[in-house]
Each structure stands twice: as C-alpha cells, then as structure tokens.
Amino acid sequence: MCEFCTGNVKLEHSSANSPGSDSQAGSAKKTADDARSALSLDADLAKPPNETDAKQSLLKKYGVETREVNDGQTEFFYRAGGHDNVVLRTASDADSLAKAPDQLDKIVQQRVDSIEKQFKVTIAKPGEFATTAEVNDDDCKPVAGDKVYARQGTLPVLFGLEEGLRQSQPSQFLAGGKEGIKIYLLDKQAAPDFYGGRKVQGTYRFKSDNGKPVIYITPAGQEQPATSKDTLKPGDRNVAWITTHEIAHNSQSLQWGRETPENVAVALGWEKYQHKSGVTVFPFIEGKNGDLYFNGSDSCKTPTTWFSIHKTGWPLDANGLPVKSVAEASKFTNEEVMDRAKVRPSTFYFSSPFEEMAEAITSYRYSPESRAQLFKQSPKLYEITAEYDRKELADFYGKDWSWNAKMVRTPDGRVVPRTSDSVRQIDEFEKQLRAGG
C-alpha cells in the first residue's frame, strides 16, 4: 500500500473513497516514555508467573519457541524459510534460563546490525516515534489518533525483512543511490482498514517528518509468516512479500514520482478520469468489452468493493443504468474483475495502477514460482514488468558497451552481473514459460 497513490480518490458522483492521509495533527494520547514502557517485556521475562507465560513472552518479544533436547539442554528456535532456526542453546536450570532474554536481545540486535550493513537501510529503534495514527470520525473525515512507535522486530520478522530486501535490490536506495530507506516495525495499526475491510499490512510513505520516504510494516504485517515457505498455501501474504511490495513503491517513486505515467496506466488497462480539481487520475480498470470497474464504498463504515461505473463517475446497476450509491450498483469480487479485465492483474490486490504494478514487480522479483505465475496470469503484464525492471537495473548499475544493463535479475530474483551464463539462464526460463512449462 502506498499513500497518495492515484486511485485513492473521492469521485464527484460515486462517493467512493479509500484512506490515505499524511496528517500529523492532534494531541498525543501516549508519551514516548509510555510507549517504551508498553513495548518492554523485560519484567515479564525476568519473573514469569509460570512456564506458559514465560513461553508466551518469548514468543511475543522474540518470535522464538523452546524445546528440550537430549542432552538436558533447552533450545531456542524460530520457524522461517521453511525450517527451524536454532539461535540459542542453554542449560535447563533456572539461572541459565533467566539469562536467555539478555542473550536473545543481543542476537536480535546482531541481526538488525547485519541487515542495516548489508542493505544500507535503517531499522527504527524500539520506542522511536513513527507517525500519528489516522482514524475516521463519525463523518468519515480523517482525524489524528494515537501516537505510533517502532517496536523491536522478532527474529521471524527480521528473517522475512532480510529476504524481502535481498529480492528488492537496488530499490531500497533513496535518490543518489547511497542511502537506503528507513523501515519502521510499528507497535500498532496506523491507518483504517481498506480494500474490502482488510487491515493494512505495510505502507510506503513518500515523505515522512524528516522529508524522506519511509516504510511501515504494521502489526498485521508482522503477524504474517516470514516467507512463502512458511505460509499455509501459495499466494498467502508473508513478511518478505510485504517488504518487497513496499520497496517496489520506492522504486516507482524514484522512476515515476507519485503518479503512474499515463502510457503505463493505459498499457495496464486503466481508464483516466478528470477530477473536478483538474487532476487527471486513473481510478477505473477497463474490462475486455470496454466496461469500467472501480473499488470503493458509500462510506468509510462499509468495506470497499468492486462495482460497475460510468466514465463520468456514476455507479451503474446490472442493467447499465446510473444509480446514486454503491449499494445499488452491480458489484464484483476481486477474482471476477481480474477475469474481466482487459489486462489481467497478477494478484487480488490492484486498487490502482500504482498498486497493480507494485504487485507485478513483487511477483517478478520474489521467486521463480511467483515470476512464472505472473507470466501465466498475465503475459502482457509480465513484459511490462520485465522492461521496467531492466530499466531500473540499467539506470542504477549502468550499461555495457552494447547498451545493455551491466546487471540482470535471474529467475530467483537475485541481481547478478550480465554474463553469457546469466543471460542464458533467463532466456531458458522464459522459453519454458512461453512453451507452457
């Protein structure tokens, strides 16, 4: 999710809206000291009332579980990457176990330091102010809510964050290519539910209080499994995917600014709309027969949905006649609109061309399986995304004597030097895709 992306607009006739505001107004309900106190679980870990509470505290703060091993020791581990990752083994006596939180704190900090050094990003420190939550009042106007702070990342979250950053290179860099983006792991949700009543899992903010872009991973995002190897079924959200998606927005911001270029929006099958403010946006996705669809609702109190719409902004009923509300309009599921779309989106999340493209970039970069699925779902979108990625690599790493990018992205999402072997690997992968493999 990105803030201020086209598509998140209120149309003159439809009253369809979705959240997106950078408001920092209003008084805080919690001080920084209160937030830091609320984030700290050290007291619980030092003197747990019972073994169950102690295990829950370890799981909440560090994302680790414990188990007894054959030699009478206790093993601390977390699940990520499709396997158990053992991070600490200690004697099972009370004194040794009481020292475990301090050791785990050091392990977490070492992981943070490693990620920051490897990718040149900054991970906000626990208790650091992030933003002011946005809530809707009774009239659906955005107002300031609680202060939101950074929390300590659990080991599974940091694992997923690292994988997402690895697949996203070089998109984590800000303008100039030397400084990476700052990432906040939030202690509470910072925006209302959106897109059918879903909780926001991540947000890219074009401009934070310090004037630079930032990424927020919300509690709803941190609750997801670390990687695709840890999900219950293919396509489920995970921390690595969320990270890759939000970093894709940083890439879009650098290449495009805040708006999807008209030629790209049109190529993706979106129809423009002239807002009364004079701004041209692309909120309507076009169907194969020229029909238009918009994702919105009559009120912030009801979840958004896809519905038929006229190019002037009026909702349409099942007979194609204009109606006054979304409730009266002909409505569709995400999957139904995907099937009807002139250019099929790659995933269920395509609230705007900006978001559709971010999902496609994520699919292209995340894994061989997700790249193959992108091609299977939408060959045209695959070609648009591949060209986008090649341009970014050329812009960042430069071109060789034949004006090709010096670096390429192999099917596993890694950026490697352009060689005959790496080019052959990509060509053979795409040849197999076109053959239906």
Tell me: pLDDT of 28 over 80. no
Return the pLDDT at 2: 60
436: helix, coil or strand?
A: coil
Is 361 within 8 Å of 388 (Cβ atoms)? yes
Mean per-residue pLDDT for 74-86? 96
Q: Where are the alpha helices (H) located in 223-367, listed in sequence order?
A: 239-256, 262-267, 334-340, 353-366
The one-letter amino acid at 217: I
Amino acid identity for residue 424 in this structure: R
Residue 235 has pLDDT above 70, yes or no: yes
Amino acid at 426: I
**8 with 134: CB under 8 angstroms?**
no
Check residue 437 and give its pLDDT: 64
Is the pLDDT reported for residue 41 higher than 70?
A: no
Q: Which residues pair with 66 in a beta bridge?
A: 76
Give the CA dihedral 175, 187, 161, 59, nearest 10 degrees: 170
102 CB neighbour count, 10 Å cutoff: 12
- What does each C-alpha distance from 421 to 26, 99, 416 come to in angstroms? 57, 50, 11
What are the C-alpha distances in Å from 231 to residues 67, 160, 168, 217, 389? 22, 12, 20, 18, 27
CB atoms within 10 A of CB 270: 28
**Backbone phi and psi for residue 232, each to the nearest 5 degrees, phi listed first:** -75, -35
What are the φ/ψ torsions at residue 403 (nearest 5 degrees)?
65, 25
Q: Which two tokens stand for residue 407?
A: 């670096």
292 beta partners: 286
Give the pLDDT confidence score for residue 274 in this predicted structure. Answer: 80
What is the reported pLDDT for 177? 93
pLDDT of residue 33: 40
Burial class (CB in 10 A: 0-12, 13-18, 19+), 417: exposed
CB atoms under 10 Å from CB of 170, counted, come to 19
Cα end-to-end distance, the chain, whole Å: 32
- Could you tell me the residue ranges of all domains in the chain? 27-254
pLDDT tens, 373-415? Answer: 999 999 999 999 999 999 999 999 999 998 999 999 999 999 9
Mean pLDDT value of segment 166-180: 96
Q: Which two tokens stand for residue 422?
A: 């790496």
pLDDT tens-digit map of 122-158: 999 999 999 999 998 988 888 999 999 999 999 999 9
Does position 231 have pLDDT exceeding 80, yes or no?
yes
pLDDT at 247: 98
State residue 50's pLDDT score: 57
Cβ atoms of 410 and 426 closer than 8 Å: yes
Report the number of secondary-structure helices (H) and strands (E) in the chain: 14, 16
- Give me the mean pLDDT over the 190-202 stretch: 92
Note the pLDDT of residue 16.
30
Taking phi over 0 as left and psi of -120 to 50 as alpha, with beta for the rest, 302 belongs to: beta
Across 222-236, 273-287, 306-320, least confident range:
273-287
Stronger pLDDT, 51 or 129, i.e. the higher one: 129
- Best mean pLDDT range from 38-42, 208-212, 266-270: 266-270
Q: Calculate mean pLDDT across residues 67-82.
A: 92
Long-range contacts for 29-37 (Cβ within 8 Å, ≥24 apart)?
Answer: 29/145, 29/146, 29/147, 30/146, 30/147, 31/147, 32/127, 32/129, 32/147, 32/149, 35/127, 35/129, 35/147, 35/149, 35/187, 36/126, 36/127, 36/149
Cβ–Cβ under 8 Å, residues 305 and 284: no
